[in-house]
Amino acid sequence: MGFVIREIILWPKEENVGKRVIKFKSGVINIITGASKTGKSSIIPIIDYCMGAQKCAIPVTAVRENCSWFGLLLVDDSNGHRELLLCRREPGEYQASSDMFYEYSEKVHIPDYHPRRNCSLPEVKERLNELLSVSDLALKLSDDAPLGNARPSYRDFSAFLFQPQNIIANSDVLFYKTDTYEHRKRLIDIFPYVLGAETSETLRLRIEKKQLERDKKTLVAKLDSYEQARHLWNLQLDSIIYRAIELGLIRQRTDKMSMSDKVNSLKTILQDSANVSNYQKEIPQSAGRLSTLYEKEKDISARLFLLKRRLQEVNKLLDTTDLYSKALDEEKNRLHSSSWLLEQTNKSDATCPICHHSLKDDAAKTLKHLCEVMEDVETESKQFSFVAPAVDKEQLQIKGEIETLSSELDQLQKQIRLEESSNPQEYTTNQISRFLGAVENYLAIYNEVSGESADSVRLKSIEDRIKEVNRIIDEDAIQRELKYKLQMIQQYAEDALQTLDVEKHEGPVTFSIPDLTISVSDSRGRKNYLSEIGSAANWLSYHIAMLLALQEYFQIDHPGQVPSFLVLDQPSQVYFPKGLDDAKTSLLESDRESISEDREAVKKVFATLSDFVERTYGKIQVIVLEHAGSDIWGEFDNMKLIEEWRGNDSKLIPSTWIRGQYEPLFW
């Protein structure tokens, strides 16, 4: 048996008022019953907050306004009944506080006034993970999340400990906090480990395998890119060699050259700069004229580029001014009638021609304001009217310059072609330099692609390690073990369902870890998931059966990590509204029969809980926060009334704590 709850402690903000303590018992059904708005639904958030919840979900009304610290006293029945005290400061205007008090000893001391911080939230989480023997390995193995940014935590066990009002009869969500994507994915990842189908070593190997698979995927993509680059490189090699021959940089025949010989020839060209210089000296003086023409072509092209980019900006500005001008005109048209209407207000019987209401007083003020707005719009329109012509003028000027430069460039390029055609074997220094730069870049790509051998060796090593890890993990054995453990849990759920109010329960219950839900097979063999099964009464029954089954497995068959308590909030809510069991009104006979049936259905819940405590030898503590009174659950064994919150001063927060006139709502 693991941790059970002994006390919940609340410390007031007023120091002259004593602390509030709620005591619980082990091995029984602990019941807190009471009317609405007394604080029952604050119990689960208080326990969860003290156990390290990321955010404080305790209602922000009377509970948080009047409490300075919250405390939880747990007893470790698996370790000589040692006590664990977890206290946490009320967060005030923040989402949560990291200030905590932690003590784990034979007998802890609970201060009369609020505790003093002795550790932080991360420190408490680390200590509790060690205390519950939770692996310190990262577990975030989902493909859509970074590896290693999370680890199994006792916080993940909260899914098996709490069933608040919004979850206990939910058709879509079976576990606490799994209505959010992050918590849902974490619970899916951790389930095999928590059930004991995976050991810490298996978990470590699975994490290693996941990282190896990611590395393999990266390497395969890299090698594929090498292959594509090599194919493109081979296509370009011959054309580069031919160009080198044209430039006179390669003089021998290349038709019988191998690919490696061609590559070596290109490397030789880069290395033998002296030969290139000698060749360049042989270029006639006519090459100097070409060089000058090339430089001029380059200069005109650059100026054309800038002018065209400026023209694009001017065109965009013209479009914007046109839109803005139209918007101003539209605004003036809308406001034009305002001046006429304002003139009508001078008449004694002035009325609106549309709605026929008076145009005096407030209407006149409004019309005057609209006329002022219209004057502002007209002023801005007049000022803006000077912008468009200026922009049009600049547009025409730029177009003229572009036309002139384009014509000049066209003539220059004709001259260059004529000069080149008159000297077919003569090439400029500039051309050779550009070619050598291209060859240098080309060979750099070749060196990168040809260096794939190291990556290929690494890929082979990764693939071998993945095979080895798969052999050690033995996925088939894990799945067999997981299937066996799930069958045990499913059978426990079946046993609980026998005494619950389930409609037409025919086939076996199956729990799906990837879906975090259950399915029930019907007489035709079709699996119906929880969301497909109608009636909130059915949803409630399957929730209770599954949570009891998991706790029975954790505490009887696989004890150690998961605390041995379960808190249920308002299981009777699906059968009748709050307060109906206390109503003393006269009802129709049909209504009386319906209420009687619902009361019997609620009794089945408590009968099932009582049988569960007996079957598990009192090793699991159950806490029920309930509106229904003892006439519903009082006849069953193992029931322990902890507190009853009915009456003016019987609530979670004593009236002596309330500051001033305060009417508690929704807490």
Tens-digit pLDDT profile for residues 48-92? 999 999 999 998 878 998 999 999 999 987 767 899 999 999 999
Give the pLDDT confidence score for residue 450 in this predicted structure. Answer: 64
- What's the pLDDT band for 579 if we cut at 50, 70, 90? very low
Residue 304, pLDDT score: 84
Q: So what's the pLDDT on residue 50?
A: 96
* Predicted local confidence at residue 337, as pLDDT: 67
The pLDDT of residue 119: 94
Long-range contacts of 645-652 (CB under 8 A, 24+ apart): 645/32, 645/33, 645/34, 645/35, 645/38, 645/39, 645/40, 646/33, 646/34, 646/35, 646/38, 650/34, 650/38, 651/34, 651/38, 651/39, 652/10, 652/20, 652/38, 652/39, 652/40, 652/42, 652/43, 652/63
Confidence of residue 371 (pLDDT cuts 50, 70, 90): confident
Neighbours of 360 (CB within 10 A): 14
**pLDDT for residue 582:** 47
Q: Where are the alpha helices (DSSP H) in 531-588?
A: 536-552
Give the whole-number percent of the chain exceeding pLDDT 70: 78
pLDDT digits (tens, 9 = 90+) for 480-527: 999 999 999 999 999 999 999 887 666 788 999 999 999 888 777 788
> Which of the two residues, 550 and 279, has the higher pLDDT score?
550
Residue written as tokens 């304001």?
369
Q: Quick one: average pLDDT of 374-393?
A: 69
Q: Are 226 and 446 in contact (CB under 8 A)?
A: no
Residue 418 or residue 172, greater confidence: 172
Give the pLDDT confidence score for residue 102 in this predicted structure: 96
9, pLDDT greater than 60? yes
- 623, containing H or E segment: strand 621-626
Question: According to the model, what pLDDT value does residue 89 have?
Answer: 95
- Quick one: average pLDDT of 174-182? 88
- Residue 423: CB atoms within 10 A of its CB come to 15
pLDDT (0 to 100) of residue 585: 44
Q: What is the pLDDT of residue 185?
A: 86
Query: Once rounded to an integer, what is the mean pLDDT over residues 636-640?
Result: 94
- Assess whether pLDDT exceeds 50 at residue 282: no
Across residues 212-238, what is the average pLDDT?
82
- Residue 381: other Cβ atoms inside 10 A: 15
Which residue spans within 146-233 are E strands per DSSP? 162-163
- pLDDT top residue among 601 and 234: 601
Angle between helices 259-271 and 273-281 (to 10 degrees): 70
Mean pLDDT of 299-310: 85
Instruction: Check residue 37 and give its pLDDT.
Output: 87
pLDDT at 437: 76
pLDDT mean over 460-480: 90
- Confidence at residue 258, expressed as pLDDT on a 0 to 100 scale: 76
> What pLDDT does 359 receive?
58
C-alpha 98/C-alpha 120 separation (Å) is 5
Is a pLDDT exceeding 70 seen at residue 215? yes
Q: Which of residues 582 and 501 earns the better pLDDT score? A: 501
Mean pLDDT taken over the chain: 80
What number is the average pLDDT over the span 268-295? 61
Report the amino acid identity of residue 423.
N
- Residue with tokens 């101003």, as numbered in its chain: 328
Instruction: Return the higher-pLDDT residue of 209 and 359.
Output: 209
